[in-house]
Each structure stands twice: as structure tokens, then as C-alpha cells.
Amino acid sequence: MAKLIFRYGAMDASKTANALMVRFNYYERGMHAVVLKPGMENRDGDNIIKSRIGLSAECESVESFLEERTPDFKDADEIDCIIIDEAQFLSVAQVDQFAWIVDNLNIPVICYGLRTDFLGKAFPGSARLLELADNLEEVPTICWCGHKARFQARVCNGKMVTEGEQVALGGNDMYVSLCRKHFMNGEIGPAFLK
Ligand SMILES: [Zn+2]
């Protein structure tokens, strides 16, 4: 039985590097893993996913993958695994479609993404994955205090931002991974104290 897996973590938790390692493990065994990302996420260009440590791979957009194959999925036999990066940007309907693929085509789907946005609220795609996934696995990273970071603050000019759009690609904002205490208290760490 194939599974729908959601591997979630804060930013900088090496989720993309982990996704690329899984892809490599499939290729090494002569199997075919498809790498997808939601089309709206194009920080690194349209057809590539890139990790901070330098690994990268070609990918397809989720939208074109689903559009080309549904409803009949003729080439389902040629796909051994589907890996989705930046899965927080999936729509609820897309998560449902991938659950259908797992259950009816017996293809495992492994999703990597953030659980929550910079306000600490679940992304709609992540909430749906939390509801539907067979396995939930945390990809850990740490706060400046050394505790596990489960949140990311949006920081602009050295200050934590507490309002704005859920998705702000580009611009001068940056993100800092924090434990719950330091996220809730708005303490982004000594690196920002000047
Ligand atoms: Zn902390």
C-alpha cells in the first residue's frame, strides 16, 4: 500500500535537500521519482528545485503534471514515487488529488513543506496534508536558543513582521526559524540585536 507522507519543518530545515536525496535513492535503484512543485513557487526559476547546500534537480509544476495526466493517468506504471517540494503552496483540491493518486494508482507521494506561515497559521495545503497524510514526519531545525524551531518569523529591517500577505516572495523580507516561545514572544535572536 502506497502512502501519502507529509514531511514538514520550519525554514532552513533542509527539506529540499532531503527531497533530492529521496529522488537520488530512487534513481540509484533504477526507479523513477517525479519531482514537482506548485507553480507559484518560482524563487529558483520555473523548472528547478534547489537546496541551500547546492543540490538541485529539474522538476515539473504540480499544475502541468496534474493537467497532463488526469483523468486517465496512462503513464502511472512508469512512476515509482512523486516528490513535492514547497507543498504548503498546494491547494486543498490538489492535496485531495494526490491522495487519490496514492489510493487508486498505488504511487507513494512524499510532500515537503512548511506547516505554518509567518503568523503561525497553517497554510491551507499544509492543513489538508495534516488531515489526510498517512505519515507525518517532522524535519527538525533549531532556534537560536538551541530548542527545536517549529515556526518562522518574517523579519524586515531587523524587526519581526506581524501582519501582511501569507505569501511575500521576493522583497527584502527574510525569515528566521524560531521555537514557539521565541516566536510567540517576538524574540528573533541575538543576531538581530545591534
Ligand atoms: Zn528559542
Q: Tell me the CA–centroid distance for residue 188 and ligand 1, in Å.
A: 8
Fold (CATH) for 4-140: Rossmann fold (3.40.50)
pTM of the model: 0.91
Residue length of the chain? 194
Residue 138, beta-bridge partner list: 8
Nearest residue to 183 (alpha-carbon basis) of 86, 90, 115 = 115
pLDDT at 136: 98
Is a pLDDT exceeding 90 seen at residue 37?
yes
Known catalytic residue: 28?
Answer: no
pLDDT at 177: 94
- Taking 3-state DSSP, the helix, strand and coil percentages for the chain, each rounded to the nearest 5, stand at 30, 25, 45
Strand order in the sheet with 159-161: 159-161, 151-156, 174-178
Q: Tell me the CA–centroid distance for residue 19 and ligand 1, in Å.
A: 26
Domain spans of the chain?
Answer: 4-140
Q: Which of 28, 78, 86, 165 is catalytic?
A: 86
Q: Tell me the CA–centroid distance for residue 50 and ligand 1, in Å.
A: 27
Q: What are the tens digits of pLDDT across the range 82-128?
A: 999 999 999 999 999 999 999 999 999 999 999 999 999 999 999 99
Q: What are the tens digits of pLDDT across the range 40-91?
A: 655 555 688 888 888 888 999 999 999 988 778 888 899 999 999 999 999 9
Is a pLDDT exceeding 80 seen at residue 194?
no
Give dist(CA 113, CA 77) in Å, integer. Answer: 26
pLDDT at 193: 63
Exposed, middle or buried, 124 (CB in 10 Å: 0-12/13-18/19+)?
A: middle
Q: What are the tens digits of pLDDT across the range 126-163?
A: 999 999 999 999 999 999 999 999 999 999 888 899 99
pLDDT at 115: 95
